[in-house]
Amino acid sequence: MDKKLEIGEMLLTEVTIQNRVRELAWQISHDYEGKRLLVVAVLKGAFIFVADLARHLQVPAAFDFLAVCSYGSATASSGEVRILKDLDESVEGWDVLLVEDIVDTGLTLNYLTQSLWARRPASLRICSLLDKPARRQVPVKLDYCGFQIPDKFAVGYGLDFDGRYRNAPFIFVPAECLTEGEKGCD
C-alpha cells in the first residue's frame, strides 16, 4: 500500500507555476509569430506543462509527442536514453519547440536534440519548466526556462516518484526524500 503523500518542502506553488507558464507562453508566441510552430512534448513528465502552455499560446501550433526513458523507476538518470514512443509526423521544415519537464544531467536533452536536428527542422529551440544545473553532465542551452531549482528531488506538476504524484498542481520535495540517505531520493 502507498504511503500518504507528505510534503517535505514546497518548491513552487501552483500560482507561481501558472504565472510563469503564462509568461513563457507570451514570449514563445512573440518569438514564433509568423512561423510554422511544432511543439514536441517529452512524455510523460511534460504533459501537464505543455497542456497549460498550449492554452496560453497566441500563435497557431501543431503538437506531437515523444516518450523516452532514462530513469526507469529510479530517481537519478541512468545515462542511457531509449525512445519508447517516436514522433507521429516528420519535423522537416518545421520550427520545433521541444518541451521538457526538467533538465538535470542534460544527457536526455542532448540525445533528443541530436536526434531532432538529424530530421532537418527549420529551427529547434528548447523549453523546460525546470532546470537543475547542479547535476549537469553535458552542457545544454535552454531557450526558455521556467525555474532553476536546487539539487533536490522534485515531484508534482507532471514530475513523478515511481509513477506517482504527477497530478499535484505544485512542485515539492516529498518528506521521505528530506531524510538524509533516503533510498531512491537522490
**Is residue 171 within 8 Å of 8, Cβ to Cβ?**
no
**Is residue 116 within 8 Å of 124, Cβ to Cβ?**
yes
Active-site annotation holds for 160? no
* Amino acid at position 2, single letter: D
* Furthest C-alpha separation in the chain: 52
Catalytic residue among 52, 101, 104, 160: 104
**Is residue 155 within 8 Å of 10, Cβ to Cβ?**
no
Q: What letter does residue 26 receive in the DSSP assignment?
A: H
Q: Residue 66 corresponds to which cell in the numbers above?
A: 515523444
Query: Which residues 6+ apart lie within 8 Å of 116 measured at CB?
Result: 40, 91, 96, 98, 124
Q: How far is 15 from 160, CA to CA, in rounded Å? A: 20
> Which residues are identified as catalytic?
104
